[in-house]
Structure 1
Amino acid sequence: MGLFGRRKRKDEEPVVEVDEPVDVEDLDEVDRADGPYDETEAPDDEFPRLDLGSMRVPVPDGAQLQVEMDPAGPVRAVHILTPVGQLTLNAYAAPKSGGLWREVCGELAEQLRGDGATVRSHAGDWGQELSAALGEVALRFIGVDGPRWMLRGVVAGPPELAETSTEALRAMLRSTVVVRGTQPMPVRTPLQIDLPQAIAEHIAQAGQQT
């Protein structure tokens, strides 16, 4: 599927150490012309995507899926396990005015520092990105503000593959379609993840066998 192809970048991305919540007023406006897409603007490209209800996510060939369930029953996350790292996307309700990722980014940086991580801020394809080093794991967080939704992606992998895993995350975000729906929701509410029937049945059968 060409998901891990590295896109050429004109310049090296600026990097700054994060000591305080980051002010990103000087970053360019978010450009989603090449994705991720709202369902109203999804391209008719026949690109294979996994339908998770609130998201349609491209899954690279050979990847494995790991479903994280909430104790109360709903699906909390679907992790995509690849040779370069574990990729996870989640979508949230956001205000019409946008800008939710900017708020979340500062909070996330503070939380990561509290966990003992070394955190840096980067200017990426859609604005601010965060990278973090925690033990032997390299993390990259990327958020995109859409119409009444925010899409957040994270990849966790070995430090020596950090550059490749970051490009893989960007590629996955770029081809994702978000299905927000029209119902009113409080800001930051996670959009519901619905598993395809075959996957849901497999999980149910595995649960009965344990």
Structure 2
Amino acid sequence: MLLVAALCLAAVEDPALAEQIAESGDTMLPRLISGDFQAIDLDADNAAMSWERVVARLSDYARSPGVAPHAFDVLLTQAEDLWSEVLESGEMARPRIRDGESGPWDAAEVPVSATVERLDYGVLKVPRLEGVRIHPLNAGGHTVGVVLSLGDHAFSLQAFRAPAGPIWGEVRPKVIQDVRNRGGTAEDAESSFGCEVCAQIPVIKDGRQVLQPTRIVGCDGPGWLLRGAYGGPSALADVVDPRAHHLFTQAVVDLSAAANQVDAPQEITALEIRWPATE
């Protein structure tokens, strides 16, 4: 994020660089410069400027004629100050979930962005992101969700039938107590995911128990709850990983694809997904 802030400042100082970015079709920098911090999120076309392009453009700027050798160091210092101001403003933590522009969506709703390519797992439709590996989440002999590998982080998604209406507010205290009972720590929080649980969950790693930072998120939809757990070293960072936010808020829940529709129980139940034979 610091590099993105540095590129914003460089584009403000160098009109030629700003023009080059505009001509390339990249939309993130112009939006950020105008104060639209939601541009950091991936959009429907996964069109946030790639980190490789950010680094490349900063390198081009540093090598530009007339740019002093120490200019890049000054730029990073200014970018750090700018990013601190952004974080203190609270804009990056403002909930952006089921607000008309972001989901997660119900299959019957409009708009469900058709430009987002999704992998069909029956009840759960998951956005496709390049470089993200997807594995089945199994429980009790059934496949009940997906686990998405994001480098040294993992993000699990699971859908539940919730016929009695919104339940995330009731579920969170139970999640917190469960984590504490297992020897971890957990507390209510809020981010761009909305109301969530920030936890340190005991896991076994390399033969010993450690506490893994984990962000547990949830969202109520019509008759369902979508729950996610994002774990890894930076899971509790001040700014949510835009990949995780995109995967969660562009997911689609389709209760019509659930098994046993006639005998569907009225209590909260985990929904089994359809795992493709080719996966």
TM-score by length of 2: 0.56
Note if contact 2:98-2:105 (Cα within 8 Å) is conserved in structure 1: no
Are the equivalent residues in 2 in contact too, given 1:155–1:165 (CA < 8 A)?
A: no
Query: Do 1:85 and 1:165's aligned partners in 2 also have CA atoms closer than 8 Å?
Result: no
1:80-102 deviations in whole A, cap 9, x for unaligned? Answer: 11115111111111135x22111
SS at match of 2:122: coil
Residue equivalent to 2:90: 11
Deviation at 1:157, TM superposition (A): 0.6
Matched AA of 2:267? V
Equivalent residues of 2:147, 2:156 under 8 A apart: yes
Give every structure 1 segment of 4 or more consecutive aligned residues whose post-TM-superposition deviation is greater than 6 Å.
Answer: none
**Structure 2 SS opposite 1:41:** coil
Cα distance 1:129–1:39, how it changes in 2: closer, same or farther (>3 A)? same
DSSP 3-state at the match of 1:109? helix
Which residue number corresponds to residue 186 of structure 2? Answer: 119
Q: What percentage of aligned pairs have identical amino acids?
A: 25
Name the counterpart of 1:191: 271
Aligned-pair CA distance for 1:191: 1.6
User: For residues 141 and 3 of structure 1, do their structure 2 counterparts lie closer, same or farther at Cα, with a shift above 3 Å needed?
Assistant: farther
Q: Is the 8 A contact 2:137 2:156 kept in 1?
A: no
CA distance in 1: counterparts of 2:211 and 2:243, whole angstroms? 19
Other-structure match for 1:132: 199
Q: How many residues get paired?
A: 180
Which letter does structure 2 place at the counterpart of 1:173?
F
Residue type of the partner of 1:162? L
User: Which position in structure 2 is the counterpart of 1:177?
Assistant: 252
Q: In structure 2, what residue type is equivalent to 1:52? A: Y
Q: Distance in 2 between matches of 1:126 and 1:136?
A: 22
Aligned-partner residue type, residue 244 of structure 2: L
Is residue 102 from structure 1 mapped to residue 177 from structure 2 by the alignment?
A: no
Unmatched 5+ stretches in structure 2: 1-45, 51-85, 202-209
Q: Would you say the 8 A contact 2:198–2:236 is kept in 1?
A: no
| Structure having greater relative contact order (Cα 8 Å, sep ≥ 6) | 1
Matched, 1:75 2:150: no
Change (3 A) 1:12 1:115: farther
Larger Rg: 2
- Give the direction of change, closer, same or farther, for the CA distance of 1:127–1:82 in structure 2 (3 Å limit): closer
**C-alpha distance in 1, partners of 2:254/2:48?**
21
- 1:50 alignment partner, one of 107, 112, 119: 119
Q: Which runs of 5+ in 1 are unaligned?
A: 15-27, 200-210
Does the CA-based 8 Å contact 2:217-2:229 persist in structure 1?
Answer: yes
* CA deviation profile, 1:8-42 (whole Å, cap 9, x unmatched): 8862688xxxxxxxxxxxxx9x7442211100115
Q: Are the aligned partners of 1:13 and 1:122 in contact in 2 as well (CA < 8 Å)?
A: no
- Pick closer, same or farther for the CA change 1:172–1:3 going to 2, 3 Å: farther
Say yes or no: does 1:89 pair with 2:164. no
| 1:162 counterpart (219, 227, 236) | 236
The structure-2 alpha-carbon separation of the partners of 1:51 and 1:89, relative to structure 1 and needing over 3 Å to count, comes to same
CA distance in 1, matches of 2:129, 2:240: 13
Cα gap change, 1:4/1:107 in structure 2, threshold over 3 Å: closer, same or farther? farther
Q: Which has the higher helix share?
A: 2
More strand by proportion, 1 or 2? 1
Q: d(CA) in 2 for partners of 1:194 and 1:167?
A: 26
| Match for residue 132 of structure 2 among 49, 63, 69 | 63
The one-letter amino acid paired with 2:191 is: G
